[in-house]
Structure 1
């Protein structure tokens, strides 16, 4: 008789622009997994205490994620789950390109894989060292703030760290098609999953890479662009399910 066991892969939580590991505090409170195998990380350039943070690059961020994977003992035999929110998709897409065998599943939170050659802000002036969090009024025009209280928005504004210019300008260069075979979950929050898939099929630049994925699950979690604050318990459940491995 064959016995089936379920275990949880190591988990790395990576927030998007202006955010560090602190952004995952509410999710971690609900994530019933082994804390020694779950890391919420701050990407290089987003540590307010780093005096050289404005010069950090995408390559620095990729190296940091790979370092965390190594510290968690990720391997082809025991790959990790990477959770990438929003603008973390640049460095995480590069990690998938370079070491796909180390990733059990990637969970894109209101985000998705980027296409080769793309950059978040290629026209950002070279003289602009960093991009601070815009006013909340302007931010609301760029992304949905649904579900966020005044207290949460104030915390966001107070703790946000300007995004390094090099990270925003650098194009992502991808060469390894094996990245597309990594199991993938799209957590769709501010845009419904059906609409995301339709945009992908229509060749929308932001979503086109989705059509190349070989193993894709789509989870609708209706809320704003920051579900780690608006629906932390539900997001934790999605992550816990994604990290489960059956053998």
Structure 2
């Protein structure tokens, strides 16, 4: 993989129900100290797109590739991609299809998915979209630690329902070169030690982690949305990762 002396572009992608806005506080901290950092909204998560509920994982992967091209990312100028939570499916597809475009991938309370993975295999074809559930239900699925009432209110107001096709589509991966991309896991709601243990045990959610050639694991203890609970600390961590990737 070609490396350059210039600082790589950092592309941020948030998980389910979220758009580029989710990273505003992180980017405010990060861009103040130098790296070129940009966030994008995945196809299907733009509230103003009338066809968004029909978008697929392939559409999302194509959207990421298009954004990389717009930013001037190439094999000679590879990017760092930062993926949070459910963004792991489309990002895993892009890493598989275009591994040469990446200097590093940073998974934020997330990780690479294995081929054949489906987020919601039992979701009926009749379900067009999945809205943000109640926080009582969501809190049983992922830690809300560190989120204030104000943050939760903003989350509720700005969340966009997740397209059904995205949740039902299997992730098909074919190129092992994706596993050679330097990788950082930022572990928040689950510790790095637990992630390593689960990966070595072959847990299906973490089995792909055990296949990575170049892995760094960093703990940032908080809930599942560290871009809101610890934005400054997350920004500093990513700045350090970017500096080490120059």
Cα distance in 1 for residues equivalent to 2:109 and 2:193: 13
Equivalent residue number for residue 120 of structure 1: 119
CA RMSD, aligned part only?
1.4
1:7 Cα deviation from its structure 2 partner: 4.0
Aligned residue number for residue 49 of structure 2: 50
In the TM superposition, what is the alpha-carbon distance from 1:207 to its structure 2 partner?
Answer: 0.4
Q: Which residue of 1 aligns with 2:64?
A: 65
Paired position in structure 1 for 2:30: 31
Matched, 1:105 2:110: no
Q: Deviations over 1:140-186 (max 9, x none)?
A: 00000000000000100111000000000000000000000000000
TM-fit CA distance, 1:242: 1.9
- Superposition map of 1:184-223 within 5 A: 184-223=183-222
2:238 equivalent in structure 1: 239
1:152 aligns with 2:173: no
Contact 1:9-1:245 at 8 Å conserved across structures: no
Aligned counterpart, 2:228: 229
Task: Note the C-alpha offset of 1:89.
Answer: 0.1
Q: TM-score, normalised by structure 1?
A: 0.95
Whole-angstrom distance in 2 between the partners of 1:27 and 1:154: 19
> Are residues 1:165 and 2:168 paired?
no
Separation in structure 2 between the aligned mates of residue 228 and residue 190 of structure 1, nearest angstrom = 13
TM-score calculated relative to the size of structure 2: 0.95
Conserved? CA contact 2:30–2:37, under 8 Å: no
Whether the 8 Å CA contact 1:8–1:245 is kept in 2: the answer is no
Partners of 1:39 and 1:151 in 2: how far apart? 25
- Greater CA drift, 66-75 or 187-196: 66-75
Residue 246 (structure 1) shift: 5.9
In structure 2, the residue corresponding to 1:116 is in which secondary structure? Answer: coil
CA–CA distance in structure 2, aligned partners of residues 184 and 152 of structure 1: 29
Q: Aligned to 1:24, what secondary structure does the other structure show?
A: helix
Q: Report if aligned partners of 2:103, 2:245 keep a CA contact under 8 Å in 1.
A: no
2:228 match: secondary structure: helix
Number of equivalenced pairs: 242
Partner of 1:8, secondary structure, is coil
Moved over 6 A (4+): none
Between the aligned partners of 2:30 and 2:179, the Cα distance in structure 1 is 27
Q: Which runs of 5+ in 1 are unaligned?
A: none
SS of 2:103's partner is strand
